[in-house]
Amino acid sequence: MQAALVLLFVFLAAISSSAQLPTSAPATASSNQSPLPSSPQTPSLDTFNGSGTVDKLVPGVVQLSLLDAMDRGLKHNLGLLLSQQQTELARAQYRRQLSALLPNISGNTSESVNQVNLAAFGIPLPPGLTSPVVGPFAVFDAHASMSETLLDFNALNKVRAASENEKTARFTVKDARELVVLVVGNEYLLTLASAARLDTAKAQLNTAQTIFQQTQDLKKAGVAAGIDVLRSQVQMQAQQQRVLAAQNQYEQQKMVLARTIGMPVAQQFQLTDAVPYAPLIVMDLDEALAHAFQQRPEYLAAQSRLRAAELAVKAARGEALPTVEVNGQLGFVGPAPGSSETTYNISAGVRIPIFQGGKVKADIDQAEVQVRQNRLQLENLRSRVEFEIRSALLDVKTSDDEVAVAKQQIDLAAEQLKEAQDRYKAGVSGSLEVVQAQEAVANANDTHIQALYQNNVAKLSLVRALGEAEQRTRAFLGGK
């Protein structure tokens, strides 16, 4: 009967244990190890168009220079702030991996009152005792425990990989700062271009109004026909539409710039810098490439990411190697705190992995795949850096030539308009020639504005490709 009860108890315990098993794989000695740290990545480009923090709205009009805008962007831009948070995450991952190699010390204090049945443990009664029950008696226990891993290649290489990932995070922050300078500089230049288009549209409207008034005067004098008055009036209204569109575009672009640099969109501000232009001094391509590979943070981050992946392979291989640990305990045990005696225990041991079900091989394969992927990405980035430098140099040279041609085009269009007005006043030609000359002036001005914008953006792209956008933006926009 007793044997049947024992079997029933074991069966019920087995059912209870199986019902509480987790759905994941059972834990092993190696499953308690911390996971490999992840490599930080640069936030998406969309995040650099917004702000993580916004300044307070101030009364009046804020005077905003290009460098002021960049300083605000480096303080408020969302992409940079997110990248800085990744740095804190990488630092926390490093500390977590390092904790596996540092001593773990804990303390415990307890006091208990016990009463024990010696017969339940099969202990015979000592002479003089009539009852197997001993107690109650008190036990006071205060001790400190320490465990230290002396040798663990897996943990050691994980610490080294986490250190490389922390370097990657710092390079990623620097790369994010470069992107902020590029994005803010581009938005500032776009706002300048929008302001220039608005000023040009207003000037053309004034010219159109003057021509319309002249045409009305000539008609009253019997020199011009009614169609000329109507044509000049249509041209004037077309210029009014352009002014309205340019004004809307300018206000919209100001809000985009404000969003990028953390300024309230309702804040009134005025750009203090004019559109910069100066021909860029010729740069040696080989020197530019060598400089970019030494300075560009995105490339340096990719190198650190590759080194971290290689250390992850070593960490995975270290899972199959023995580990050496030492443990110790020092405490005081007795019936009361004042009558306790010192006790201690020191032990050292070696854990030798024998069979882990193929986990080590799987971890090594997974880490080696990551190495190959990072190596391919590094080679692609190296090629992309060269492409971006070559492309930026070509864009700067081409845009320099376009600016020069656009300047000549403005002069020729202005001369064409003057001659057309003189011919119209003299009665030699009609107002159609004047309208065509006005359109030529408008197109020439727009082409010049676009050429200046493309030239400055090409210079910004060049310093970004060199990895020195934050340090050399002012000099490059000035042509140095």
- CATH number for the domain spanning 69: value is 1.20.1600.10
More confident residue, 95 or 21: 95
Judge whether 127 lies within some domain.
no
On whether the CB atoms of residues 447 and 403 are closer than 8 A, the answer is: no
Segment 50-69, tens digit of pLDDT:
899 999 999 999 999 988 99
Average confidence (pLDDT) over 383-390: 93
Q: Two tokens at 147?
A: 């465990």
Segment 117-171, tens digit of pLDDT:
888 888 888 887 778 888 888 999 999 999 998 899 999 999 999 999 999 999 9
Judge whether 16 lies within some domain.
no
Judge whether 332 lies within some domain.
no
Judge whether 430 lies within some domain.
yes
Residue 144 has φ and ψ, to the nearest 5°, of -120, 135
Judge whether 126 lies within some domain.
no
The DSSP bridge pattern shows strands 61-64 and 268-271 to be: parallel
Which H or E run includes 228? helix 226-261
pLDDT the model gives residue 329: 93
Residue 114 has φ and ψ, to the nearest 5°, of -125, 150
Average confidence (pLDDT) over 396-412: 90
Segment 361-375, tens digit of pLDDT:
999 999 999 999 999
Judge whether 404 lies within some domain.
yes
pLDDT the model gives residue 39: 66
Q: Two tokens at 87?
A: 């740095």
Judge whether 22 lies within some domain.
no
Q: Two tokens at 69?
A: 């805008």
Residue 191 has pLDDT above 60, yes or no: yes
Domain that holds residue 81: 28-107+150-323+358-477
Segment 1-30, tens digit of pLDDT:
444 433 333 333 333 333 333 333 333 333
Q: Two tokens at 439?
A: 């359109």
pLDDT the model gives residue 255: 95
Identify the residue whose tokens are 């990405």: 377
Helices (H), 121-225: 153-220
Judge whether 122 lies within some domain.
no
**DSSP track, 49-78:** GSBSS-PPP-SSEEEE-HHHHHHHHHHHBH
How many structural domains comprise the chain?
Answer: 1
Average confidence (pLDDT) over 248-277: 91
Segment 225-240, tens digit of pLDDT:
888 888 888 988 998 9
